[in-house]
Copies of this chain bind each other. A is one copy, B any other.
């Protein structure tokens, strides 16, 4: 097992950003400039775009500057700096067509994201192995997960498969491919939905939240459509992770 291969480094406002690869998977690790010695690590799953989309850089800043944590994200298969297959191209075209015509997206997005998740879960596990080789992270520190949309489609099977992850903030996805997996998850969960989501039916979101077997789980439902998701939920997710990961771990900000 090897540490990640770092390909670029920059820093601003107390946060160090390091691009890395693990095999052919590109990722980025944000850490406190002060080192973040054996601080908790949060794995972040991006939405429709890539590892440095604003949702990821914004959460990284909250986690690193606000909590003293490390935060890492990788490009999902077919996203960001990764090649797209012909299958990816077909799925993307179909989902754009559904958005344009107002057809239900679930029947297209659910199998597409399930296919990506099947590829992404072992990738994440290899990346976590590699990140835990770094002395500033270590093999025994607390690990959390956060991600919405595609980040949930990948996150639910990842959290179910990966006992190192002890708390997860997710949401904004259909239950169809995820319910049975969610039933095996028992770690604390915070789950977001939009109450008036025009893409994901209300009952679908409630059903996915209902499926988690976690003794501690919180649903946050906010008024508004899919893209009205309020940014204060990012702060709440970070507080939720901080509460569980600091409690679980030996290091704290």
Contact = CB atoms under 8 A, between A and B. Distances in A.
Interface stretch (A2-10, A97-105, A163-171, A214-222): A214-222
A219 B220 contact: yes
A170 to B, nearest CB: 15
Q: How many copies does the complex hold?
A: 2
A219 B193 CA distance: 10
For the side of the interface on A, what is the size category? Answer: 10 to 19
Nearest to A212: B223
A211 to B, nearest CB: 12
Contact of A216 (B215, B216, B218, B230): B230
B230 A222 contact: no
A178 to B, nearest CB: 17
Best-buried of A209, A210, A218, A243 by chain B (most CB within 10 Å): A218
Interface of A: 195, 206, 209-210, 214-224, 230, 232, 236, 243
